[in-house]
Every structure is written in structure tokens, then in C-alpha cells.
Amino acid sequence: MTKPKIAVCSMFRDSQVWFNKQTNQVYRLFTSLLDQTYGFENLNCYFLEGDSLDNTNETLKYISKKYKNIKLFNKEATFNSVASTTNKNRIKSMSNLGSYLINQVEEDLIFWVESDLIIKPDIIQRLYDRMVKIPENISTVISAPCYYGKDGQFYDTWAYRNIDGSNWKPDTNMRGSGMVKMQSVGSCALIRRAKNLAVNFGDGAFVELCDRVNEAGGVVFADCNQYVEHPRNEFIAGRWI
């Protein structure tokens, strides 16, 4: 059975600062995509690079020339403060970059993943299996919660919000508890654009994207049976812009 194409969207900046195959973020994410059980041939990758001071852009150019299902875009950030990961101007700048990238996508299914995350080889397939259980005419966002390491604390405390808008604060006991309905999620998610819904980040990142989905009668979930890892030792606040 033919699988639908899924767009993979990710943004890169100075992602070659870790000089070995285990922590080089371009290498790590790319090989993780190659190993996806959903099938790399069923993925169309949309990568955005901007303002890198290392050889991130050159590496991405090499990969995009070698693989026909990788498209590379370059766009400079409009804001360069690194003061805070929740700075409104920083969020707006990153959101605009993300929206620019999503607007290049032709597919209705989009797997968004931050380029510094560690993803498992079955993450896309598992999120897709969840997605197909929801009627295809309903716009949907299903996220894999992100933690510092396999057993570390929850990472994305800003974008993940309960139905009432309060910050989601999961503990390790929630792992394996299935789908949790949310107001918004973040970091890593499979997104379905139903009925030609114009889904992008606007100025408010994943929170605004999820708001648009909810307003259109869609649904947003965190799948607690899945998770992705953020390597805490690689975290540099605001390194994107």
C-alpha cells in the first residue's frame, strides 16, 4: 500500500559546532530521517538554514544535492538577541522563519522537528498511526513530548498548554498514558492540514499554529506513549537567532 508523502520541516543554525558524528546535529537528524521506519522515500524534507558561522550551510547543500527529496532554503533572521528563549521578539522572528518554511510545503502532512532533538526511528510511523485514526477532514496536531534525556525533566514548558491554557507539567508517571488533549504543543509534532487550512506559526510559534487548528474545529494532542530527547549538554539559549 502506498504511503502518503510526509513533509519534514526543520531549521538549522550553527548545527556543526559539535565535531563528532554522535553530537553533530546535521548528521544526527539526517541519519535519523534515513532510518525512519515510515521510509525515507516517503518523506520530502524542507530544511531552512540562516546566519550560520560554521559549515552548516555547506553540509546541507551537499546533502540536498545528493538526495532529490531534500529542499534547502536560506533566510536570515531578523532578530539577534540571545537573552531569553521566551523573548517575544525572538519568538516572533523564529515563528516567521518557521512560517516561511511551512509555506514552501506542498504536502498535507507535516512532521515538524527542531534540529537539535534526538528522534527514534519509528517516531514518524507511530505518530502517523495515531493520525489515521482521526477523520481525515479534521486538522490535527499530534506531538511527541520532549524531555531532557530519556528520563529527564520535561523540556518544552512554554508551548505545551492544557485545554484551560495553563502550562502543562507532566511527570514521568504520564509516560505510556496515551493521548492527552491539549490547547497547544511544541518542539516535535505531526501536523495535518485538512480542508486547505492555512496552518503556520504566525508570530506566536506552535501556540499560534495550534490556535488556528483549534479555531478551525481541529484537535491537538500530546501522545504520551512517544517521546523525543533534548540533549541538555548542547543547549545554548537563543542560538537559533
What CATH number does the domain containing 181 carry? Answer: 3.90.550.10
Does 65 fall in a domain? yes
The three cell numbers of residue 59 are 553540509
Q: Residue 56: pLDDT band by 50, 70, 90 thresholds?
A: confident
Q: What are the distances in angstroms from CA 133 to CA 111, 129, 141, 209, 227?
A: 17, 7, 13, 21, 20
Does 110 fall in a domain? yes
**Cα–Cα distance measured from residue 202 to residue 207, given in angstroms and rounded to the nearest whole number:** 9
Does 18 fall in a domain? yes
Q: Of 86-95, 120-129, 203-212, give the lowest mean pLDDT range.
A: 86-95
**Cα–Cα distance measured from residue 190 to residue 5, given in angstroms and rounded to the nearest whole number:** 12
The three cell numbers of residue 54 are 560554521
Average pLDDT, the chain: 86
Q: Of 18-27, 193-202, 228-237, give the lowest mean pLDDT range.
A: 18-27
Does 41 fall in a domain? yes
Does 240 fall in a domain? no
Does 186 fall in a domain? yes
Query: If you count DSSP H runs as helices and E runs as strands, how many of each does the chain have, helices first?
Result: 5, 10
Give me the number of domains the chain comprises: 1
Nearest Cα residue to 210 out of 189, 184, 180 = 184
Partner residues linked to 110 by β-bridges = 7, 191
Q: Of 13-27, 46-60, 141-155, 218-232, give the lowest mean pLDDT range.
A: 13-27
Decide: 159 and 183 in contact? Cβ < 8 Å.
no
Does 217 fall in a domain? yes
Domain that holds residue 181: 6-234
pLDDT of the residue at 239: 47
Partner residues linked to 44 by β-bridges = 7
33 has a pLDDT exceeding 90? yes
Does 1 fall in a domain? no
Q: Residue 241: pLDDT band by 50, 70, 90 thresholds?
A: very low
158 has a pLDDT exceeding 60? yes
Structure pTM? Answer: 0.91
Question: Could you report the per-residue pLDDT of 172-183, keeping only the tens digit for each?
Answer: 557 767 899 999
Mean pLDDT of 125-154: 91
Helix (H, G, I), strand (E, B) or coil at 192: strand
